[in-house]
Amino acid sequence: MAQLDIQNLVKRYGDFHAVRDVSLTVADGEFLVLLGPSGCGKTTTLRMVAGFIEPSAGHVKLGGADVTLLPPWKRNAGMVFQSYALFPHLTVAQNVAFGLEMRKVPRPDMNRRVEETLALVRLEGYGGRLPRQLSGGQQQRVALARALAIHPDVLLLDEPLSNLDAKLRQEVRVEIRELQQRMGLTTVMVTHDQEEALTMADRLVVMNEGSVRQVGSQRDLYERPADKFVAGFVGRSTFLDGTVEAPGCFRTEGGLSLVCAGGTAGKASLSLRPERLEIAAAPLAGLDNCLPGTVEFVSYLGAMIDIHVRLSPADRLVVQIANREGGFTPDVGQSVHVGWRASAGQVFNA
Amino acid sequence: MSLVVDKPRGQGWTASALLAPATIFIAISLFAPLGILFRYSLNEFVPSTKTMVEALTVANYVKFFTDPYYTAALATTIKVSLLVTVVCLIVGFPLAYVMARTQSRFKHLLIIATVLPLFVGNSVRAAGWMVVFGNKGFVNASLMGLGVISKPLEIMFTENAVIIGIIAVNLPFMVLSLQSVIEGIDRAVEEAAFSLGAPPATMFRRVLWPLALPGILAGTILTFILAMNAYATPFLLGGPTFKMMAPVIYNEFTQKTNWPFGGAIAFILMSVTLGLTLIANLLIQRRSAR
């Protein structure tokens, strides 16, 4: 395993910038997740690290060595593809052995390493099967074993869980993460699924439109999003549009005057996390903001209940409450009060 | 209690009725002539009256294999067909690969361009080649005009002209067979091989070739059969002394009106073609099944 350095990486297709000046360092043994909507450049970045796409500018360094100009077969990067890309005409053992054959590992060593790697992904005894005889989850594990068998400098995962059903995905998530920590694998994963990103990563990189928007831990991204995009993409936010009249003083488009934390004068959005808001039938005391409103929509999610509250003709909020026994659950059309501390909201100037 | 056999829908009379027309057509148009021809091939031919006499003899088959004129024609046909097939495969694979993998919006134009030569009949195309290959044709005139050669190259009425001509006819079949199969191979499988350390040549040998094998087989068989049975191209481009099987058979039927012998050669050609195809099929499948 080794440290991966991405320096000022750029990929242009004609006038279109798929990736603009991305710089990242993945420490030895770190699990970094590239998170973003489709078309944000995360996959292009990963494919440049793997060597499938030649960057327009910038460098990729693996363990300190510049591999920018090396073809994929001369880099020691293990890749797990979204479609798994197993060799359908080879058995599971032959699939796992493929990279070792390319490295001219002697036969006895090779067999031992294939066995070891299959045991690692709990597929002992499956070596003689063909990929099509395995379930989706097993195929995924073969793909992982094949990438790990070559003892790669870096493990690259391209949306590895998107073809699994929801229940299996949760199990595999934990499995991959435990394996990665146990073996100290330097790993880069690409995903658009934020829950997946949050459960697996040491550090996350949020990308949009080809650029890195924010790098940080789960807590950093959630509590201190760098911009409105991150606030909306990581976790859930409801936004009230309006203007900051003076630092600490926000007026919504619907004319509501709110106390906010900081902000500079001008057009802005106030971002609020639905679960940080409080809701009650009577006015709430001790909060910086408390506003009357009407319940417009209730969605019952089981453990949680989402309540959409209209504060003014132009302003609507989502409040999320825990579904506790005997807790307050308003009905549609009911008059309620919504309140929050100034510190619960974040202002993003437009 | 009555015994009722529960048949799934569409497997009763309806299905039979739908299958019948094609089945009957094939039976009448393919097997009936073959049967009659085979029976003819066992008859005797009286050269003086140019008539067929009912008999049961293998003399026509013996005659073919004992006369070097005919065995040479068979050898030439096999040689040309093998060469054509190999060249079509080597030339066709890269083209098919590019066509299968391209993201270009002109992809459909590329496919049409590949098929376009088939819109022209074989004899018309051969006539075109005659203009290109002739002593004062396009190739020789250009090369002599440029001073590359001083006297015209002998291309017309040679084996090479025939080979080039048949390749031009058969290449589209090879390319389309390969392209459709390569399109079904996930591009990520190639990338997986690269990322595991396989350079392009190794990737091709270990991954692309075995996965494309069904298309390679289909294209090879199609090309080989078409070459074995080529008529217009060898007839027009090969000239009077060049002999391939299809023109020889035609000659027996029409010029000599020797139906028994013509029938025998036709059966020999068909058997050899089928036999070689089956052998190639078995060899390739056994090698890939290891």
Longest dimension (CA), chain B: 95
Residues A97-154 pLDDT 10s:
999 999 999 999 999 999 999 999 999 999 999 999 999 999 999 999 999 999 999 9
The reply to whether residue A71 touches residue B194, judged by beta carbons under 8 angstroms, is: yes
Q: Give me A321's structure tokens.
A: 């409450």
Distance in angstroms (rounded) separating the CA atoms of residues A280 and B210: 68
Task: Return the pLDDT at B8.
Answer: 61
Residues B28-51 pLDDT 10s:
898 888 999 999 999 999 888 888
Q: Give me A342's structure tokens.
A: 């100034």
Instruction: Please give the CATH architecture assigned to the domain spanning A4-229.
Output: 3-Layer(aba) Sandwich (3.40)
The reply to whether residue B192 touches residue A86, judged by beta carbons under 8 angstroms, is: yes
Task: Return the pLDDT at A23.
Answer: 96
Q: What percent of chain B has pLDDT over 90?
A: 56
The reply to whether residue A73 touches residue B192, judged by beta carbons under 8 angstroms, is: no
Q: Give me A172's structure tokens.
A: 């595999």
Residue type, A218: Q
- Host H or E run for residue A320: strand A315-322
Q: Find the domain containing B186 and state its range.
A: 83-288
Q: Which residue among A52, A83, A99 sits closest to B196, beta carbon to beta carbon? A: A99
Residues A51-110 pLDDT 10s:
999 999 999 999 999 999 999 999 999 999 999 999 999 999 999 999 999 999 999 999
Q: What is the ipTM of this complex?
A: 0.87
Alpha carbon of B108: minimum distance to chain A alpha carbons (Å): 23
Cβ-in-10-Å burial (0-12, 13-18, 19+) of B201 comes to exposed
Residue type, A273: R
Tell me the Cα Rg of chain A: 25
Is there a domain that residue B195 lies in? Answer: yes
Distance in angstroms (rounded) separating the CA atoms of residues A250 and A321: 25
- Host H or E run for residue A53: none
Closest CA to B97 of B22, B185, B27: B185
| DSSP code at position A330 | P
Is B287 in the A-facing interface, judged by CB distances under 8 Å?
no
Is there a domain that residue B1 lies in? Answer: no
CB-CB neighbors (< 8 A) of B290 in chain A: none
The reply to whether residue B197 touches residue A78, judged by beta carbons under 8 angstroms, is: no
User: pLDDT category, B132, cuts 50, 70, 90?
Assistant: confident
At B143, which CATH number?
1.10.3720.10
Residues B3-34 pLDDT 10s:
555 556 656 788 888 999 998 998 889 888 89
Q: Which residue among A50, A82, A83 sits closest to B195, beta carbon to beta carbon? A: A50
Task: Return the pLDDT at B127.
Answer: 86
Q: Which residue among B188, B194, B196 sits closest to A83, beta carbon to beta carbon? A: B188
Q: Give me A89's structure tokens.
A: 């005409």
Domain regions of chain A by residue span = 4-229, 236-349
For residue B22, the Cα-to-chain-centroid distance in whole angstroms is 24
Is there a domain that residue B197 lies in? Answer: yes
| DSSP code at position A161 | T
A4-229 and A236-349 in the same fold:
no
- Say how many domains are in chain B: 1
The third-level CATH classification (topology) of the domain covering A236-349 is OB fold (Dihydrolipoamide Acetyltransferase, E2P) (2.40.50)
Please list, in sequence order, all residues whose beta carbon lies within 8 angstroms of the beta carbon of residue B139, skipping any fewer than 6 positions away: B132, B133, B153, B155
Is B65 in the A-facing interface, judged by CB distances under 8 Å?
no
Phi-psi region of A302 (alpha: psi -120 to 50; beta: other; left: phi over 0): left
| DSSP code at position A183 | H
The reply to whether residue A73 touches residue B199, judged by beta carbons under 8 angstroms, is: yes
User: pLDDT category, A350, cuts 50, 70, 90?
Assistant: confident
Distance in angstroms (rounded) separating the CA atoms of residues B93 and B43: 46
Is B211 in the A-facing interface, judged by CB distances under 8 Å?
yes
Residues A292-337 pLDDT 10s:
999 999 999 888 999 999 998 889 999 999 988 888 888 899 999 9
Is A263 in the B-facing interface, judged by CB distances under 8 Å?
no
The reply to whether residue A71 touches residue B189, judged by beta carbons under 8 angstroms, is: no
